[in-house]
Homo-oligomer: A and B are copies of this chain.
C-alpha cells in the first residue's frame, strides 16, 4: 500500500485528476496580489477585517471576500471576537512556498540583471571601439 504522501509525490504517471485539481486550486488561491498582501499582513499576528481594510486601503467587502477564499482553502481561520472577526494563519506552510517562490524569482531577476549588464558592457565596448563602428 502507499502512504498518502507517496501517492501524491511519486505517482508521477497518471496523476489523479482530483489531486491535480486540488493542487491547481491551491496555487490559484495564491495567484491574487491582494490575497498575498493579506497573507503577508497575517504573518506574525491575527488581524480583523477592519484592520486589514485600512492597512491595505481597499474595500471591506473585497477583503471579506478574499478572506473567505483563503478560509475555504484552509489557509486562514476565522475567530469571532465581539462584532469583529479576527483571522489568523491556519497553515504556516504557505510561507515556505512564498519564500521559495520569492527566492526563485530573485534568482531569475539576478540572472536577468547579469544578462543586461553583460549586454550593457558589450554595448559600451562597441561604443568605445571605433573599429566595430564600420558595418
**A residues whose Cβ falls under 8 Å from a Cβ of B:** 3-5, 7-9, 12, 15, 17, 19-28, 30-33, 36-37, 40, 43, 74, 91, 93, 96-110, 113
Contact = CB atoms under 8 A, between A and B. Distances in A.
Given A4-B106, A4-B109, A9-B99, A37 B22 contact: no
A16 to B, nearest CB: 11
Provide the main secondary structure of the chain A interface: helix
A42 to B, nearest CB: 11
27 contacts: A4-B110, A4-B113, A5-B102, A5-B107, A5-B110, A8-B105, A8-B109, A9-B106, A12-B43, A15-B37, A20-B33, A22-B105, A23-B36, A24-B30, A24-B31, A24-B32, A24-B36, A25-B31, A28-B28, A28-B31, A74-B108, A91-B104, A93-B100, A93-B104, A96-B100, A97-B97, A100-B100
